[in-house]
Every structure is written in C-alpha cells, then in structure tokens.
Amino acid sequence: MDTHGFCDPRFAAVRDVFARNFAEQGDVGASFAATVEGEFVVDLWAGHADGARTIPWREDTIVNVYSTTKTMTFLCAFLLADRGLLDFHAKVSRYWPEYAENGKQDTEVRHFFSHSAGVPGFDPKLPSATALYDWEACVRNLAAQAPWWTPGSRSGYHALTQGYLIGELVRRIDGRSIGAFFREKVAEPLGADFHIGMAEDVFPRVAEMLPPEPQTNAPFAQADPDSIPARVFASAQAGTDAVNTAAWRRAEIPAAGGHGNARAVVRAQTPLANDGKAFGVELLTAEGARAMREEQTNGPDAVLGMPIRFGLGYAFPNAMMPMSPNEDAMFWGGAGGSTIVVDQSARVCFSYVMNQMQAAIVGDRRGGGLGRAFYKCL
C-alpha cells in the first residue's frame, strides 16, 4: 500500500503503524494527521475512497466522521462562551425557553456537553433517518420530552441528540445554524476542510462510508429493548445506507454528520492545544481554551456501559480508553473508528479518519495504535 503525504522523520514509527493498519487491520482508505506546538508533523493518507477500490483516497478526500463531528460543535460553543454570550453554568431556559418543559427547567448548559441532560434519544423515536434532516421537528421533540433521568446526575451518551441540543443553543444566541456558524467562525478562518452540511460541489470528493462486518457480539446487539442503550440507538437511524446519500451530506446533523479528513479535523482543533491560537488565527483566549478540562461527570455511562470522565464535551482518557498517557488530555471519537485527541499539556493534536468502519462506538484500535506510536515518538 502506497502511503502519501509527509511525516517528520522522528515520527517514522507512526507511518509504519499507519501502513500496518491497511495490511493487518482492514483499512480501505484512511488519513492521519498531527500537530506539535501548532505545526503539522504528520499528514498521511492512503488507500481507496470506495469499497470497490477503484477510486484512490486523495489529499482532498473527505468522509463522514460520525461523532468526531461533536467536537466541532464544542468549538462553536467555546467561541460563544469566550465572548461572554454563553454561560455553561446557566440554565438552558435562559437561551431556549421552550426547553424548560416536563421536568427540564433546571437543566444547565453544561449538562448538554457532559451527556448528562437526560435526553440521550428521541422520544417518540424518529420513523427514519430522513427525519433527522428536519431541524425544527428534532428540536421540538427534545424540548417537549421528559428527561430519562435527573439532569446532571449521571452521563448517558447523547449519540445523536447532543448535536441538536448544542446546535439549537448556538442558533438561539447567534441566529446562524450550527453548520453556518462553524463554517464562518471556525473552518474558514483556520482553513479546515470540514463540513457540517455541505454544498453539492463538494460531493465528488466524499468517500463512500463502508459498514462494519456484521457481528453477533456487536455493541448493544443483545441489549434489552427497554434498556436505555437500546432505546437510544433505536430512537434514530444513522447507518451507512443513509450516510452515503446526498440528503445526508446536505443536512446539518451536528452529532454525526460532519465530513472531513484527519488534516481538517486537526486544523480545526489545534487551537485548543495551543492556548487558543494556531495557523495565524487567535480563535480563543487561553482561558477559553482551557475551559474544556472542567470536569462535569465521572462514572459509569448509562448508554455506553463503561466509566467515562467528561469535561466540557470531550472525555479524559482512562484505562478502558487510553487515548493518551497524559491524564488531562482530552479526546473523542466516532462510530466505526475516527478519533481526535487534544493534549494541552503536550501542546499536541492528532486525528485518525477512515472510511472502513469497525464495530465500535467511540474510536477503535486503529486510531489507538497510531496514538500510542505518536506519543512514543514525542
């Protein structure tokens, strides 16, 4: 497999692991990028953009990254908070009065970011993936429902709902949709080729998302249909049959529908690792960038079934998800394998993005292996 791009010689081991992901871990098309002190030290891509392996993965190929998209919504909120327009400790109803229905009157903004708001799924559930394209209907669903637990008392992964919750806050405060706000305030200034909703002229560069092999032991395959995890993932469908359509690409689905490659993810997120500045742009103040590390919850997640310590949006590494050797690093990932790590102490940011999904909810061993190799080279 030919690997393209560049890799600083001291990170040669990262290039080797990247190549082995194709030979040993089933990668079809993928990219990996990393910055240190705000400068790119790795930017690699290889493979194919389609399952038939007829279209090469090019420098400007992008693909759906599922929940790695969430981290872009966090950036948007950090910008508003840094400018004094959003208070993470305020009640949601200050910005979105209709949300205070059915026992949600005490929900705080920060609960949206720590998956502790108690609305991890749509209730009633959505009839099909196409229902996700109707923003107004989705936010009305969330505003009207009762919380599944006392807001703030525990985390439970808001797999698709988190993007609508944060996105509606951005819209109520700024007036722009989350996709437009991200494009104009983050992506364009930083030169990040990342899209939450895209124009049709971008479609030719989008890789086909390839589903994982069916597994009887796949996450939540045997879950009680009345359990919280089963209800969450049954409440809205977001499989590759939807992701690979024009309608999905056009829609703003800010928890799961963003498109980019590793370079794009890293260009957008690198300011967080460098006191709010990168690539000649001061996106945030240093204090605004550090806000992500304010601990919100720490314990078993009601949806993912594993212990997670959440800051504002991102999670801290732990034994089950050792994305960094540094305890105060932050990360998240997407269904099928994509990942993003922001390590403020090391002033490091890196991401892995691919099109061949594996049966995992938040990243997988391909991105994890690249991360371990990267830290060994530092």
Q: Answer yes or no: are the C-beta atoms of 321 and 315 closer than 8 Å.
A: yes
Q: Which CATH number fits domain 61-337: 3.40.250.10, 2.40.390.10, 3.40.710.10, 3.40.50.700?
A: 3.40.710.10
Catalytic residue, chosen from 31, 67, 338, 351, is 67
- Residue 106 and residue 92: Cα distance in Å, rounded? 8
Looking at residue 224, its pLDDT comes to: 86
| Cα separation, 271 vs 289, whole angstroms | 8
Q: What are the φ/ψ torsions at residue 88 (nearest 5 degrees)?
A: -65, -25
Query: Which pLDDT score is estimated for 251?
Result: 98
Q: At what angle do helices 365-377 and 12-24 cross, to 10 degrees?
A: 160
Tokens of 49: 């953009």
Q: What is the pLDDT of residue 194?
A: 99
pLDDT of residue 216: 54
CB 262 within 8 A of CB 6: no
Is residue 287 within 8 A of residue 45, CB to CB? The reply is no
Q: Exposure of 2 by Cβ count < 10 A (0-12 exposed, 13-18 middle, 19+ buried)?
A: exposed
Contact 349, 266 (CB under 8 A): yes
Sign of CA dihedral 317, 323, 329, 331: negative
pLDDT at 215: 63
Cα 375 to Cα 378: distance, rounded to the nearest angstrom: 5
pLDDT in tens, the chain (378 residues): 799 999 999 999 999 999 999 999 999 999 999 999 999 999 999 999 999 999 999 999 999 999 999 999 999 999 999 999 999 999 999 999 999 999 999 999 999 999 999 999 999 999 999 999 999 999 999 999 999 999 999 999 999 999 999 999 999 999 999 999 999 999 999 999 999 999 999 999 999 999 998 765 555 556 788 999 999 999 999 999 999 999 999 999 999 999 999 999 999 999 999 999 999 999 999 999 999 999 999 999 999 999 999 999 999 998 888 899 999 999 999 999 999 999 999 999 999 999 999 988 887 899 999 999 999 999
Phi, psi for 316 (deg, rounded to 5): -85, 150
Query: For this structure, is 345 an active site residue?
Result: no
Bond preceding residue 300 cis, omega within 30 of 0: no
pLDDT attached to residue 221: 58
